[in-house]
Amino acid sequence: MENKNCIFCKIISGKIPSETLYEDENFRVILDIAPAAKGHAVVLAKRHCTDLFSSDPATMSNALFVIAKVGDAIKKALACDGINILQNNGTAAGQTIFHLHFHILPRYNNDNLTIPGKTLSYKDGEAAEIAEKIRRELAL
């Protein structure tokens, strides 16, 4: 299923060229055109869906296999010290292209690449309250 206005659908269909690293029936993995690090790859679901929450369980299971396979190859090929796997859902989370995709970022000791975020703390009882809300949703 293709969305004619989606840049990732255009890349998957070959209408926009890319440097493909891996491809199977469900995914195409390309080098990011504006990488955060050399070797930054993007795993694109071939079936257009907006985000993780609009995907099906089989696609998500297959995604983990592809991410692990390509991440391992990047780590070996580039001799990086680590890998970040990033996946954003919604504008507030930093998603700018509304097509399910995952970023694989090679990392090096002292590379000065920072992933935004700060740590917070819970007030007394707040963690338990939030956990209970989430557990109720999981039970539905």
Q: Which residues are catalytic?
A: 101
In whole angstroms, what is the distance from residue 114 CA to residue 58 CA? 32
Distances (CA, A) of 88 to 50, 76, 113, 129: 11, 26, 18, 25
Asked if 45 and 26 count as a contact pair (C-beta separation under 8 A), the reply is: yes
